[in-house]
Amino acid sequence: MLLRHLLSILILPFTMTVLFPRWLMRGLSRSDTRWIDGTVAAASGHVAGVVVFVAGFALFAWCVLLFVRVGRGTLAPWDPTRRLVLVGPYRYVRNPMIIGVLIMLAGEAVFLGSRVVALWTLTFFVINNIYFVLLEEPGLERRFGASYIEYKAAVGRWLPAAVPWQNV
């Protein structure tokens, strides 16, 4: 069980937040930006980036734990949850795990002062939005039926609700 979760984390979010941004920064280094070391802007960017990254990681980790404990599955599409997760941050927004990854990427972009990583963050959001609309949500509707359709109608995809959804 633990190996399944570690493998899905290594293949998906680790690749998207660590490996792919590094590859992009190397390949596009001439058009990328960086903080000038030793400046107040660099120090501030590093601190802000770490704070933002840690917040995103905390949200991501919480969601992974909910997938393990409540959903009885992993974050990977090839090994999905067996039960619909409707607790914790999922009461406010449908995709908090991806939001956590996006926050981590934003923190990384700020920490590095990297325009390339910031553009990757936006691109990653667009790719995920398309994926959720075309594949993930229809698949969840087929797997979980009326309970997911009711949840989907009540809880936003990306923008958290001010009031948590109550599964009545």
Query: Is residue 163 in a domain?
Result: no
Residue 100 falls within a domain, yes or no? yes
Does residue 161 lie in a domain region? no
Q: How many domains does the chain have?
A: 1
Q: HSE, CB side, 13 Å, CA atoms: give it for residue 37.
A: 0
Number of H helices, E strands in the chain: 7, 0
Return the number of other C-beta atoms located less than 10 Å from residue 62's C-beta: 16
CATH number at residue 126: 1.20.120
| Domain range enclosing 108 | 2-154
162 within some domain: no
Residue 11 has pLDDT above 90, yes or no: no
pLDDT digits (tens, 9 = 90+) for 103-135: 999 999 999 999 999 999 999 999 999 999 999
**Gap between the Cα atoms of 132 and 92, Å rounded:** 17
% of the chain exceeding 70 in pLDDT: 94
pLDDT tens profile 52-84: 999 999 999 999 889 888 888 777 777 777 899
Residue 168 covered by a domain: no
